[in-house]
């Protein structure tokens, strides 16, 4: 699955190309555009191109394979992290082996890595979890 920006760019490029191709086809048939049917033909090209661009960007875009998670200890948010979805259990074991204390974990749905990194940074800046070092002015180190 692609990010929102990838989908938007794919849609705009597809719509632009679809409209350009439709307009070019109309000029090959006629020398000018004077009929309402000509305009509808071009609009259909724009719509079809936009749908095609959106579909291609969704298929070829960034994979949804990264999750954000939050550690809580005694009701307080103590850590914000990200990991690949298939590595989640292993990452939790690594935290425990490092001596990180947490009583429960909340994890988000998988998303593209770029989106997960931005969300992690935003949450660290907003909540200042004590076990986060990066992006945090109030870490315990």
Whether 51 contacts 33, CB under 8 Å: no
CA dist 94 and 125 (Å) reads 24
Task: Residue 120: count other Cβ atoms within 10 Å of its Cβ.
Answer: 20
Q: Name the least confident of 14-23, 24-33, 34-43, 90-99.
A: 24-33
27 versus 88: which is more confidently predicted? 88
Longest CA–CA separation in the chain, Å: 76
CA dist 68 and 19 (Å) reads 40
- pLDDT value for 99: 92
Q: Check pLDDT > 70 for residue 4.
A: yes
Whether 16 contacts 49, CB under 8 Å: yes
- Model confidence pLDDT, tens digit, residues 27-54: 777 777 677 788 888 899 999 999 999 8
63 versus 107: which is more confidently predicted? 107
DSSP label at residue 85: G
């Amino acid at each position: 699955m692609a990010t929102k920006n990838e989908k938007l760019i794919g849609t705009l490029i597809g719509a632009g190309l679809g409209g350009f191709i439709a307009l070019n086809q109309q000029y090959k048939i006629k020398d000018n555009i004077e009929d309402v049917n000509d305009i509808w033909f071009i609009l259909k090209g724009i719509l079809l191109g936009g749908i095609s661009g959106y579909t291609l960007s969704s298929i070829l875009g960034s994979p949804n394979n990264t999750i954000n998670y939050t550690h809580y200890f005694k009701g307080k948010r103590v850590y914000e992290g990200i990991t690949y979805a298939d590595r989640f259990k292993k990452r939790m074991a690594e935290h425990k082996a490092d001596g990180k204390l947490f009583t429960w974990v909340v994890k988000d749905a998988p998303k593209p890595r770029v989106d997960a990194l931005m969300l992690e940074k935003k949450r660290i800046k907003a909540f200042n979890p004590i076990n986060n070092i990066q992006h945090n002015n109030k870490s315990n180190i």
